[in-house]
Amino acid sequence: MLGILGKKIGMTRVIQDDGRVIPITVVQCEPNEVTQVKTMEKDGYPAVVLGFSALKKPKKTRKFQFQREVRIEEGQEFTKGDIVSLEKFNEVKKVVVCGISKGKGFQGVIKRFNFSRGPETHGSHHHREPGSVGSCAKPGRVAKGKKLPGHMGHQKVTLSGVEIAYLDAKNNVIGLKGSLPGPNKGLIFIKAIA
């Protein structure tokens, strides 16, 4: 099944009839437009490009702020200009959600990889440093993939099996159980589990 692009609004909660409180993340999914169709004959694989959040001043080559390519099965047929809305999710119970996590900048090993700190007293100069990272004369270098300080966050995060707690196709709003990656107003891609 084809997915849909949306914008994360924020978190709230839904109170069930039996008194249970379920935290949900609300996503605004305006109808997406199919801007391009890719076929096996021409491109080597079947896919469509979805456009979301129309620009106020469309350009010659671009009409939407966000465009994402989505693979489809060979039997499915789409044409340029087709609309994809939340009505396709009426019968769906669980979805796969993709988003870009919040960026946290340059971080040390304690925050980035949960390292333990060194002693704070008795003249220790080893507090938040990573410690020894190299090896002896052979190979005489730091191994690739070593856990060191660096850029943290701002990565693609995929959550599978997220439950739909609330769906209002008329107002283009969907509520997904739990938290979703990224900041408010961030781009979210939702795809039904086949």
97 SS3 class: strand
1-30+86-104+148-194 CATH pick, 3.40.50.1010, 2.60.40.420, 1.10.490.10, 2.40.30.10 = 2.40.30.10
* Residues in Cβ contact with 97 at an 8 Å cutoff, skipping those fewer than 6 apart: 158, 159, 162, 176, 180, 181, 188, 189, 190, 191
CA atoms of 166 and 37, how far apart (whole Å) = 31
CA atoms of 160 and 192, how far apart (whole Å) = 10
pLDDT tens digits, 44-60: 899 999 999 888 988 88
pLDDT tens digits, 117-174: 999 999 999 999 998 888 888 888 998 999 999 999 999 999 999 999 989 989 999 9
Count of residues making up the chain: 194
Is residue 121 within 8 A of residue 164, CB to CB? The reply is: no
CA atoms of 101 and 153, how far apart (whole Å) = 6
Is residue 187 within 8 A of residue 66, CB to CB? The reply is: yes
Query: Per the structure block, which two tokens stand in for 14?
Result: 């839904």
Q: How far is CA 82 from CA 30, 50, 162, in A?
A: 14, 10, 27
Domain residue ranges in the chain: 1-30+86-104+148-194
Whole-number percent of the chain with pLDDT over 90: 63
Sheet holding 64-71, edge to edge: 64-71, 47-54, 32-38, 83-84
Label residue 1 by pLDDT band (50, 70, 90). low
Query: Per the structure block, which two tokens stand in for 45?
Result: 């694989």
pLDDT (0 to 100) of residue 78: 86
Q: Is the pLDDT of residue 21 over 70?
A: yes
